[in-house]
Amino acid sequence: MYDFDDLPDSRTSLRGLTADGDEAWLIRSISQKLYRCPGCGKAVEIGMEHVIVQRIGRIGGTEHQHWHRSCAEDGPMLELRQLRKVSAFETRPGKLAARGQTKAGRRRRDMRRGR
Ligand SMILES: [Zn+2]
C-alpha cells in the first residue's frame, strides 16, 4: 500500500505503474460531458472536477477512464506503484496519446521530476 494523498491538480499530474507494468497517468480534469465512474458506477456530472486515469500499455495502446476524485483516491492511487508527481504540461491532450503509439522501450526518457 502506498501512502500518497495528493490528488492531481491543474499544475500537477501523477504517474504510476500498474501491477501489469503499464503506465498510468492521473490527470485533473473538468468534465465536458457525462461520464460513468468505474469506481462507484455513478455519474461524473458535467462541469465536475474529476480525475482522468489514462493507461498506456507497455507494448503501446492507451485507454482512459473518468473517476470521481474520492474514488480515484480509494482506487488507482492506492493500487499504483511508484506514484510520483509530474508537471501537468507532460499530460496535456495529445501528448499521452502520442506516447501510447510508441513501445515503452523506445520512449524518450524526458520525464521531468515533480517540482
Ligand atoms: Zn465514483
Task: Tell me, in angstroms, the distance from the centre of ligand 1 to residue 7's CA.
Answer: 14
Q: What is the pLDDT of residue 1?
A: 42
Question: What is the SS3 assignment for 21?
Answer: coil
pTM (whole model) above 0.75: yes
Q: What does each of the 115 residues of the chain score in pLDDT, given as a tens digit?
A: 444 568 999 999 999 999 999 999 999 999 999 999 999 999 999 999 999 999 999 888 999 999 999 999 999 999 999 999 999 999 987 888 888 888 777 776 555 444 4
Q: In 1-115, where do the E strands start and end?
A: 12-17, 23-30, 35-36, 43-44, 49-56, 62-67, 81-87
Task: Tell me, in angstroms, the distance from the centre of ligand 1 to residue 22's CA.
Answer: 22
- Is the CB of residue 77 less than 8 Å from the CB of residue 83? yes
Q: What is the pLDDT of residue 97?
A: 84
Cβ burial of 80 (10 Å; 0-12, 13-18, 19+) is buried
Task: Tell me, in angstroms, the distance from the centre of ligand 1 to residue 71's CA.
Answer: 5
